[in-house]
Chain A
Amino acid sequence: MTALSLVVPSYIGGFVIVAALGPRGMFQSLLSKLFNIEHLPEIYGLPGAALTLTLLSYPYILLTVRSALWGMDPALEEASRSLGYSRWATFWKVTIPQLRPAISVGALLVGLYTLSDFGAVSLLRFDSFTRVIYLAYQSSFDRGIAAALSLLLVLVALMLLMLEAWTRGRSRYYRSDSGSPRALRPIALGVWRWPALAFCGVVVILALALPMAVLGYWMVRGMQAGQSLDLAWTPMMNSIYVSGLAAVITVAASVPVAVLAVRYPSRLSGFVERSAYIGFALPGIVVSLGLVFFGVRYAPLLYQTLMMLVIAYVILLLPQAIGAVKSSFLQVSPRMEEAALSLGRRPMQIMVRVTLPLIRTGMLAGAGLMFLTAMKELPATLLLSPIGFKTLATTIWSATEEAFFTRAATSAILLVLVSSVPMAFLTLRESGRKG
């Protein structure tokens, strides 16, 4: 459930953080009633923007690391323990290095997402580079400057990508000996249970309970002031449909890229993989306008159809799926495939019967990430969807633009609730497998 904050659009997240923790926000008015506290630490600027973006994007790491943990062989840790390492040492020397690809891919996604975000930084009044790009569009309608600035952003993204490649190194992450990985055994935390629980609690409260409380408050307040509650059913179904479609297609598209990157590392495959990440680092509006230009000229049949929208989602969000699929692919030993091959299976059969089941956790995590982020995607949805096609994200945006808080809140709550269904499904599946 903790991954749900990913679905909160950053312009809602930013607004909620200001409403709750701002200089005259709800938290302050509560404190001033109780303890007469008049000033809170400044939320505007870097601290607030960093806090908001951390809360909104930590599921990138959570989801990829979790799926890598499921795929890890407990035998490694047991071996380390039996050779006399303490739990701590095992954690640092065995577990963390094993998780390195997942952590670095997650961190990469967080980094790129933060680079491309506009909503949170503008509401929290932090002058990021994206904000400058948006200003070029918004005030001077100057697409030339915006495009030039976006190219700079691409450079920064390339630097992040190189950093990630460097962190990951050239190690192997699959088991090399024979033997079958066993089910994981939960570790009893003992007294450490409480601090661990408290930490998780704080994260969940800040990332999910706080926004939900503010949204709930807006809804109740609006109802008291006589606003009507209209639930956005059609946009909801549209959101689920198009995000689900995008999730399936993207994961399918990410498998070949991950195969290339992991099994056939070369300049070319590295380039293919890296280039997929660029779309994610660019502000959605830049990519969307590019697709408008391309679509209306060279693909007029597709332009402003559902397919076009799905293509846009794939371009914008593909790296999330690649990241998740790849980090679980790294744990699969090529011996498995070789064994199947030597037994006379055809490559396609091996793919379907051996490789895909082995990277299932990664594919599910990728699909989950895709679904959640496609649910909240805004610029491409506004520009490229079939005309008149509304999703929950566009409904929320349209309502916040003109201060229709009640309507924004109901749709946002709906968005979180709807997204929790596939998340619950994913989580339950994984826990089910454990036993």
Chain B
Amino acid sequence: MPWSFPARLQQSLPGPSEHGPHFRPRWRFGAVTAMLLLVLGLAVSACGNEAETPNDTPGSLVVYSGRSESLVDPIIQQFKVASGIDVKVRYGGTAEMAATILEEGENSPADVFFAQDPAGLGAVAGRFAPLPESILGTVPAKYRSPEGVWVGLSGRARVTVYNTDKLSPEQLPDDIWGFTDPQWKGRIGWAPTNGSFQAMVTAMQVQWGEEKTRDWLIGIKANEPKAYSNNTSIVAAVGSGEVEVGFPNHYYLYRFLQEEGESFAARNYHFRESGPGGVMLVAGAGILETAPNRENADRFLQFMLSLVAQQYFASQTYEYPVIERVIINRLLTPLEEINAPDIDMADLDDLEGTLALLRETGILP
């Protein structure tokens, strides 16, 4: 019983009286300083456990990935084995990783930034170094930056996902404009804060012009869509019947089919008419101008554009390849049938206009 110690002492005291003021400073300095020293000691001992990993050792590579570990780790491991390079990856959201690179500035330990979308790449474009022709030449011009500082590595199509219990594809409109019809009131789910959605709205401005894009936003808003936080939540909500249609990227559906089986009550629908609602977006990467391991970074991008890696994306992550001669997963709609419009990714990397429009229409706060 820890209590008894001071209590026993109290009996020998004259009574609870005020003590002399000269005790207090000693108490303060002795005890508080000691505690601080203890904290420092713990801190230093924790530091000692940490092995230093200098970045300039030959044979290493640091990748900042805004793409999820679940999707890209297998192929990065393959690169590691094939090249013998010690690849280290930091995973996070694309926006967080971009912000980190910008905060780090000149001192960034990163070689490669692997981003989820063109906007993420555009945000750090000023920090990228030009890529060699051996990399740029592999990818169609519309899937890379015009300044040659980043390349697309895999494609993801914008689609409509619909609930199969309530709708059949014939009931869906030919293009995304059709959803402004009042009959869709209360039946739509979307994710206005999501980067891919915003890229689609940018694509609308490229193809339709600002006026029609604003009308589309106003039209959909009038149909009282439910706003979800991301693509996953949209597909989940369509599958459970919370809403009947939603606008995500195409590959989320296949994750749900894997998790829940064929009975999952949602499928993808590619618009019959080519338009911004079916735009093909890319995830891509660039090399930082401060990259400590420039050569390895080049090799990394070359590998990601090789047949092996592209085949991995096409069959394992249900994405579309950016090079030819790749066989896509049998569940995917063939590239020729998805009616993707011809839009340069480079036109989609500036978000300001889209964000202004989304704020103006009251869709974003």
Binding site for B on A (CB under 8 A): 15, 18-19, 22-25, 44, 122-123, 125, 127, 131-132, 135, 137-141, 143, 176-181, 218, 221-222, 224-227, 245, 248-249, 252-253, 255-256, 259-260, 263-264, 285, 289, 292-293, 296-297, 300-307, 310-311, 335-343, 346-348, 350-351, 353-355, 357-358, 360, 379, 382-383, 386-388, 390, 394, 398-407
Contact = CB atoms under 8 A, between A and B. Distances in A.
Nearest to B120: A141
B102 A25 contact: no
Given A25-B240, A394-B91, A335 B10 contact: yes
Given A25-B240, A300-B107, A402-B71, A225 B36 contact: no
B134 to A, nearest CB: 27
Interface in B1-44: 2-7, 9-13, 15-16, 19, 23-24, 26-28, 30-32, 34-36, 38-39, 42-43
B353 to A, nearest CB: 11
B286 to A, nearest CB: 15
Contacts of A138: 93, 95, 193, 195
Given A19-B236, A137-B99, A252-B42, 16 more contacts: A15-B233, A22-B237, A25-B240, A125-B226, A127-B365, A141-B120, A178-B7, A180-B4, A181-B3, A249-B39, A256-B36, A292-B100, A340-B6, A343-B12, A386-B50, A388-B90
Contacts of A252: 35, 38-39, 42
Nearest to B364: A135
A292 B10 contact: no
B16 A297 contact: no
Contact of A296 (B31, B50, B107): B107
Contacts of A339: 6, 9-10, 13
B227 interface: yes
Contacts of B351: 139-141
29 contacts: A15-B233, A122-B229, A125-B226, A125-B229, A135-B364, A135-B365, A141-B119, A177-B16, A178-B11, A225-B260, A256-B31, A256-B39, A260-B32, A289-B100, A296-B105, A297-B107, A303-B109, A306-B50, A310-B43, A339-B13, A341-B19, A342-B13, A346-B30, A347-B26, A358-B6, A387-B53, A398-B69, A404-B255, A404-B259
Contacts of B233: 15, 18, 123
Contacts of A351: 30-31, 34-35
Contacts of A178: 7, 10-11, 15-16
A140 B39 contact: no
Contacts of B49: 306
A307 B229 contact: no
A340 B52 CA distance: 46
Contacts of B53: 386-387
A181 B99 CA distance: 55
Contacts of B252: 402-403
Q: Which residue, of A253, A339, A357, has the highest number of chain B Cβ atoms within 10 A?
A: A339
Contacts of A141: 95, 98-99, 102, 119-120, 123, 351
B42 A248 contact: yes
A383 B92 contact: yes
A340 B9 CA distance: 7
B198 interface: yes
A137 B98 CA distance: 9
B169 interface: no
* Chain B interface, >50% SS class: helix
A398 B68 contact: yes
Contact of B28 (A227, A264, A289): A264
A2 to B, nearest CB: 27
Residue of A336, A354, A383 contacting most chain B CB atoms (<10 Å): A383
B193 A227 contact: no
Interface of B: 2-7, 9-13, 15-16, 19, 23-24, 26-28, 30-32, 34-36, 38-39, 42-43, 46-47, 49-50, 52-53, 62, 68-71, 88-93, 95-96, 98-100, 102-105, 107-109, 119-120, 123, 193, 195, 198, 226-230, 232-233, 235-237, 240-242, 252, 255-256, 258-261, 351-352, 355, 364-365
Nearest to B27: A347
Contacts of B35: 252, 255-256, 259, 351
B31 A350 contact: yes
Contacts of A346: 30
A270 to B, nearest CB: 16
A224 B261 contact: yes
Of A25, A360, A403, which is in contact with the most chain B CB atoms at under 10 Å from its CB? A403
A184 to B, nearest CB: 12
Contact of B108 (A296, A379, A390): A296
Contacts of B355: 139-140
Contacts of A305: 47, 50
A18 B252 CA distance: 18
B30 A137 contact: no
Nearest to A141: B123
A74 to B, nearest CB: 12
Contacts of A137: 95-96, 99
Contacts of A296: 103-105, 107-108
Contact of B261 (A225, A245, A248, A400): A225
The 9 closest A-B pairs by CB, nearest first: A357-B2, A347-B30, A180-B7, A141-B123, A403-B255, A24-B240, A336-B6, A382-B92, A122-B229
A310 B6 contact: no
